[in-house]
Amino acid sequence: MRLRAVAVTRLIIVSNRVQATSADATANQGGLAVALSSALRQTNGIWFGWSGKETETFSGSIDLQKRDGVTTATIDLEPQDVEEYYNGYANRTLWPLFHYRVDMAEFERGFAGGYERVNARFADTILPLIEPADLVWVNDYHLIPLGRELRRRGCDNRIGFFLHIPWPPMRLLLTLPSHRELVESLFAYDVVGFQTDDWMQSFFDYVRGELALEVGDDGEISFAGRTIRAVVCPIGIDVSDFVPQAEGEVAARTCKAMMVSANDRAMIIGVDRLDYSKGLQERFLGYDRFLASRPDLHEQVFLLQIAPPSRADVQSYQEIRAGLDALSGRINGEYASAEWVPIRYVNKGYPRDRLAGMYRAAKVGLVTPLRDGMNLVAKEFVAAQDPGDPGVLILSKFAGAAAQLKEAILVNPYSAEDIADALAQALEMPIEQRLARWRALMDNVEREDVLWWLQTFVKAMSRD
Ligand code: GDG
């Protein structure tokens, strides 16, 4: 991967899971893993996180590995940690709440205790790895209190935090029993990054409304003797890696196979982890509405929805899966003919290069999360298109990506009629308009790519 000059200071990246890429990887790795790996290779840094494995008794022993130039450091967690910290507080409390689903959030003191315990365990194990000039970069909602835990242990390095998911509106956040403690812990960082101005403004609302603090012009906020700076820094994809993949041999083969199997029908594609925040049921209902309103287009289109299961240990995820099975079955049962199945619903993942070929074969990318920090699929869809004959992106107004990808057809994902109208508009869009919209979208995807994100955040972190 091409790499523009990334800061030479050593970077310690911390995230819940670590996914270093290896040269022979064909695995389902996201753009973030690839980009962070490359940055670490250049800066001789360390990527720290949970191994994904369980151990009977937590020992704090670190598995250090150097693979393809990237040093990863992982620890195993106890089953109770995994249940309370990961399945509990991260996935059943913060994830739904931060995605505005207070109805699905579970508030259990045991979860909160496990969250604090694991963050303290992370701090204990990372601390000896940190050298005086290192920049420490903590990623995502699993680890909000980690900065505070590191400070308590005497770490005075520059520490930044980046939130990959939305920040909820103040009144929703107030439903979290320990909201104040959680927010106050953010003041241990030097820089706190958000995907969009909307999420940052929600954070400011809380800071002003609940903590009665002032927000400076530069996003600076002082509290308890420390000053943090809030910044907007939208994540992008690794365009220099993804575009060649989309133009490569595997993608071309996949694209061709998809075209053959499409049999002259226009393909609409969705690619999402199976998660209620992605609005899959609402998307299927929008497509259902489209089919009901446009009988003339029956047999001329189909929806390919790729939805690899995620967080299968959490009950709400099992329920959404069952709901989608039923809904896709109902829609197919209603409209299918001997030659045509309106929804191809696929519960498994594909390697990235094959995914790129599928995006390229599609006439429409249907990306309609109910709420999303950013949404990288929207950017990947744009990057994978044939510049001479690009497909059309339909994007939820409530995805962080909508703040940048304004030339997409923006929809309200809760409205089946909005989705149905957008599908008709996209499928009938003249080539000149498709080209103009795609060029503008691609300019943004190229300009604000993942390396731009990384450099912008590291620069903000490095500032004295
Ligand atoms: C969180 C935030 C934010 C999906 N299926 C397959 C596959 N994927 C890849 C996609 C994309 C990634 O997974 C999903 O990224 P998203 O951004 O869409 O969503 P989250 O997983 O929810 O990510 C989100 C992101 O963090 C980064 O900050 O944008 O808002 O929720 O790269 O391509 N990859 C492969 N096969 C699949 O079947 N290889």
Residue 196 bridge partners (DSSP): none
Query: Which residue, 261, 448, 274, is CA-closest to 344?
Result: 261
The position carrying tokens 């993804």 is 242
The DSSP secondary-structure symbol of 344 reads E
Q: Look at residue 231 in the predicted model and tell me its pLDDT.
A: 98
| pLDDT tens digits for range 400-437 | 999 999 999 999 999 999 999 999 999 999 999 999 99
How far apart are alpha carbons 78 and 182 in whole angstroms?
A: 23
Q: DSSP readout, 31-53?
A: HHHHHHHHHHHHHT-EEEEEEEE
Cβ proximity of 462 and 9 under 8 Å:
yes
| pLDDT tens digits for range 246-291 | 999 999 999 999 999 999 999 999 999 999 999 999 999 999 999 9
How far apart are alpha carbons 243 and 21 in whole angstroms?
A: 18
Distance 273 CA to ligand 1 centre (A): 7
What are the start-end ranges of the E strands in 272-310? 301-306
Cβ proximity of 425 and 293 under 8 Å:
no
How far apart are alpha carbons 237 and 282 in whole angstroms?
A: 26
The H-or-E segment that residue 15 falls in is: strand 11-17
Buried b (16+ CB within 10 A) or exposed e, 219-243: bebeeeeeebbbbbbbbbbbbbbbb
Residue 27 has pLDDT above 60, yes or no: no
Distance 250 CA to ligand 1 centre (A): 20
Mutation probe of ligand 1 site: the residue of 139, 371, 375, 404 with most atoms within 8 A of C-beta = 375
Buried b (16+ CB within 10 A) or exposed e, 4-38: eebbebbbbbbbbebbbbeeebeeebbbbbbbbbb
**Ligand 1 closest atom vs CA 278:** 22
Nearest C-alpha to atom 26 of ligand 1 is from which residue?
164
Distance 30 CA to ligand 1 centre (A): 6
Query: Which residue, 30, 18, 12, is CA-closest to 161?
Result: 12
Residue 411 bridge partners (DSSP): 396
Nearest C-alpha to atom 21 of ligand 1 is from which residue?
273
How far apart are alpha carbons 302 and 268 in whole angstroms?
A: 6
| pLDDT tens digits for range 33-61 | 766 777 777 777 899 999 999 999 999 89
Catalytic residue among 164, 238, 353, 418: 164
How far apart are alpha carbons 232 and 197 in whole angstroms?
A: 6
Nearest C-alpha to atom 23 of ligand 1 is from which residue?
375
Helix (H, G, I), strand (E, B) or coil at 291: helix
Decide if 164 is catalytic.
Answer: yes
Mutation probe of ligand 1 site: the residue of 139, 238, 374 with most atoms within 8 A of C-beta = 374
Query: Which residue, 367, 232, 186, 206, is CA-closest to 286?
Result: 367
Distance 74 CA to ligand 1 centre (A): 22
Query: Which residue, 253, 240, 178, 163, is CA-closest to 457?
Result: 163
Assess if CATH 3.40.50.2000 describes domain 241-446. Answer: yes
CA quadruple 385, 388, 394, 397: dihedral sign: positive
**Alpha-helical runs (H) found in 174-238:** 179-185, 197-209
In sequence order, what are the residues at sequence separation of 6 or more whose Cβ sits closer than 8 angstroms to the Cβ of residue 174? 210
In sequence order, what are the residues at sequence separation of 6 or more whose Cβ sits closer than 8 angstroms to the Cβ of residue 180? 210, 211
| pLDDT tens digits for range 135-185 | 999 999 999 999 999 999 999 999 999 999 999 999 999 999 999 999 999
Residue 104 has pLDDT above 80, yes or no: yes
**Ligand 1 closest atom vs CA 401:** 29
Domain ranges for the chain, please list them. 11-236+450-462, 241-446
Cβ proximity of 155 and 131 under 8 Å:
no
Cβ proximity of 188 and 226 under 8 Å:
yes
| pLDDT tens digits for range 372-402 | 999 999 999 999 999 999 999 999 999 999 9
Cβ proximity of 367 and 409 under 8 Å:
no
Mutation probe of ligand 1 site: the residue of 15, 271, 453 with most atoms within 8 A of C-beta = 271
Helix (H, G, I), strand (E, B) or coil at 63: strand
| pLDDT tens digits for range 190-209 | 999 999 999 999 999 999 99
Q: Which residues line ligand 1 (CB under 6 A)?
A: 28, 30-32, 164-165, 235, 271, 273, 306, 308, 349-352, 355, 372-377, 380
Fold designation for 11-236+450-462: Rossmann fold (3.40.50)
pTM: 0.95
| pLDDT tens digits for range 296-355 | 999 999 999 999 988 877 788 888 889 999 999 999 999 999 999 999 999 999 999 999
| CATH topology agreement for domains 11-236+450-462 and 241-446 | yes
